[in-house]
Amino acid sequence: MEDQTKTQIGAERFFQPEIEKIAADDLAKLQLERLKQTVANCYENIPFYRQSMDAVGISPADITSLDDVRNLPFTTKQDMRDAYPFGLFAIDVHDNVQRLHASSGTTGNATVCGYTQRDIDNWGDCFARGIAQVGGGSESILQVAYGYGLFTGGLGAHEGGIRSGATILPMSSGNTKRQVQMMKDFGVDILACTPSYALLIADTAIEMGYNPATDFKVSGAILGAEPWSENMRQEIEAKLGVVAVDIYGLSEVMGPGVSCECRYHDGLHVAEDHFIIEILDPDTLKPLPDGEWGEVVFTTLTKECTPLLRYRTRDISRIIPGTCQCGRTLRRMDRITGRTDDMLIIRGVNVFPSQIQQVISSFDEVTSYYQIVLTREGQLDHVLLKVETVPEFDFDEIRKIEALQQRIVAELKSNLQVSVEVKVVEPKSIERSEGKAKRVHDLRAI
C-alpha cells in the first residue's frame, strides 16, 4: 500500500518531461510570450530596470520578437550588490515571497534572490529533469550532499527530489563516513553533490573497506557547482559505479537546474522554457555563432520575484551545434571552461584553472586533486602547481618524481604556452573538500 501511495503522489507532483522535446516553433512562441511578460514585470515593478530601459530607449511594447532581447540592458553581479537587499525584487518581500537565498558576499554585499512558491516549483521541475536523466524518479532514494542554507545547491536538489517524487535523504555536506554508511544502509540510488565531494565520498567508502561500485545501489550522480574534467568524471563513475552528469546553475539566475547533461554526455540541455541563453564576445558583447566560446548571458522567463534581464554570468561556454542522441530538442551548452573573472594571466598568457586541470588529468600517475598557488617574486607573478600522485606511484624514487614533474611542465608549455613550476606531492597531502574544492590559493597580497 505504501509503494502504491508513493507512486500516486509522485505521479501528481512529477514535472512534465515532454517540454524537453518541444518543437522549435512552439518553443519560440512560448519564449516570446514569456519574454514579453518578464520585460513588463521588470519595467513596471523594478525601478532599476525602468531606468535602465528608459536610458536605452526601449519599452515593453518594443519586444515583438526574440531577437529584441539583444536590445535590452545587461544586468551584472555588481548591479545586484548595489540593489542589496531587495532592490531587484518585483514584489514586496512580505507579499508571497516564500524563500530567500543569497551569495556569500565575501567580496561585497551579497546578491539576494527571492522565490515565490511558483518560482520554487519551477526550480524543482528543472532539477527533476536531471534526476530523470540519470534514471531516477518516484522509486528513487536521493541523497543530497550539497550544503543546505543560503547556498542554492542543497535546497535546489531537495526541491528536485520533491518534484520527481523521490524519497529524499537531506544529508547536506560534511561527516563523510556517515554519508557513506547511510548511502549503503538506506539503499541510495541517486547522489547529488559537488564532483570533488563525490570523489571524496568514493575514496572514503573504499578506505572503509567497501567497493561502492558493487556494494552500493547508487547508480546515478548529479554533480555541479564547480568545473571538473572528463577524467575526473570517469574516475567517479568507476569508483562509485554510476552514471555521472554535470548540472549547471547559479543562485542569481535560479540555482542548479538551469541546464543539465543527459547520459550521452554531449553537452548540458538548457531549460529554454525558463531561460533565454546567449553566448557573447566578452569584449565586444556581440552575439557569437553556435560553436564559438564566449560569455554566457541569461534572461529569466518565468521568475516572479527576481526576474533578470541579460544577466552576465562571467562563465565561459558555447552552444553545441546539432541535436542530441537522447531526442531532447532543447539546445545544449558545453561545460563551463572557466570564468572571465577567475582567469590567470601567466607571463601575459590568459589561462583558466580548468585548462590546467584538463592537462594534468591526462597523466595516469596523478589523481584529480591539485592546487594552484599564486605568489609574487619581485614584479612577476609566480605559479606553483601541486599535483598529487596515485597510491601506487613510487614516491621514494627521486628520479621518477623529477621526470614526472618535467613531463607535466612540458605538457603545460606545449598545450597552454605557459611556464609553471610543478611540485609532485604524496597521496592525500592535498586538502580534501566537503563542498566546493578550493583549487586556487592566491598569496600575492599576503
Claim to verify: residue 277 and residue 359 sit in the same structural domain: no
pLDDT at 225: 86
Based on DSSP, count helices (H) and strands (E) in the chain, helices before strands: 12, 21
Claim to verify: residue 115 and residue 249 sit in the same structural domain: yes
Sheet holding 141-144, edge to edge: 167-169, 141-144, 190-193, 220-224, 243-248, 259-261, 268-270, 332-333, 319-320
Domain end residue (candidates: 339, 359, 385) = 339
Claim to verify: residue 230 and residue 316 sit in the same structural domain: yes
- Among candidate residues 371, 438, 434, 437, the one with its CA nearest the CA of residue 201: 434
Structural domain range at position 390: 344-442
**Residue 170 preceded by cis peptide, ω within 30:** no
Residue type, 342: D
Domain end residue (candidates: 291, 311, 339) = 339
**Residue 384: beta bridge partners?**
373, 421
Whole-number Cα distances in Å, 296 to 59, 184, 300: 24, 39, 13
Claim to verify: residue 214 and residue 260 sit in the same structural domain: yes
Q: Which residues contact 197 (CB under 8 A, 6 or more apart)?
A: 145, 173, 433, 434, 435
Q: How far apart are CA 394 and CA 406, in angstroms?
A: 16
Claim to verify: residue 355 and residue 334 sit in the same structural domain: no
pLDDT at 341: 75
- Is the Cβ–Cβ distance between 145 and 193 less than 8 Å? yes
Q: How far apart are CA 25 and CA 345, in angstroms?
A: 43
Count of beta carbons in the 10 Å neighbourhood of residue 248: 23
pLDDT at 91: 97
pLDDT at 1: 33
pLDDT at 342: 74
Residue 26 grid coordinates: 512552439
- Among candidate residues 270, 420, 412, 238, the one with its CA nearest the CA of residue 336: 270
**Residue 422: beta bridge partners?**
385
CATH of the domain at 239: 3.40.50.12780
Claim to verify: residue 288 and residue 394 sit in the same structural domain: no
- Is the Cβ–Cβ distance between 122 and 307 less than 8 Å? no
- Is the Cβ–Cβ distance between 169 and 161 less than 8 Å? no
Sheet holding 421-425, edge to edge: 421-425, 380-389, 366-377, 440-442
Q: Which residues contact 95 (CB under 8 A, 6 or more apart)?
A: none
Q: How far apart are CA 316 and CA 337, in angstroms?
A: 6
If one counts the domains in the chain, the total is 2
**Residue 370: beta bridge partners?**
387
Please measure the distance between the N-terminal and C-terminal CA atoms of the chain and give it in whole angstroms.
63
CATH of the domain at 398: 3.30.300.30
Q: How far apart are CA 178 and CA 341, in angstroms?
A: 36
Claim to verify: residue 333 and residue 363 sit in the same structural domain: no
Residue pLDDT tens, the chain, 446 long: 333 333 333 333 445 668 999 999 999 999 999 999 999 999 999 999 999 999 999 999 999 999 999 999 999 989 998 999 999 999 999 999 999 999 765 446 889 999 999 999 999 999 999 999 999 999 999 999 999 988 899 999 999 999 999 999 999 998 999 999 999 999 999 999 999 899 999 999 999 999 999 999 999 999 998 878 888 899 999 999 999 999 999 999 999 999 999 999 999 999 999 999 999 999 999 999 999 999 999 999 999 999 999 999 999 999 999 999 999 999 999 998 878 777 776 755 667 787 888 889 889 999 988 999 988 776 567 889 999 999 999 888 889 999 999 999 999 988 887 788 999 999 989 988 777 777 888 787 65
Claim to verify: residue 146 and residue 207 sit in the same structural domain: yes
Claim to verify: residue 196 and residue 131 sit in the same structural domain: yes
The 3-state secondary structure of 318-348 reads CEECCCCCCCCCCCEECCCCEECCCCEEECC
Whole-number Cα distances in Å, 370 to 80, 172, 197: 33, 24, 14
Domain end residue (candidates: 290, 308, 339) = 339
- Is the Cβ–Cβ distance between 355 and 337 less than 8 Å? yes
Residue 274 grid coordinates: 525558463
Claim to verify: residue 352 and residue 256 sit in the same structural domain: no
Claim to verify: residue 294 and residue 367 sit in the same structural domain: no
297 phi/psi in degrees, rounded to 5:
-125, 130
- Is the Cβ–Cβ distance between 411 and 385 less than 8 Å? no
Claim to verify: residue 19 and residue 154 sit in the same structural domain: yes
pLDDT at 357: 86
- Among candidate residues 70, 59, 63, the one with its CA nearest the CA of residue 34: 63
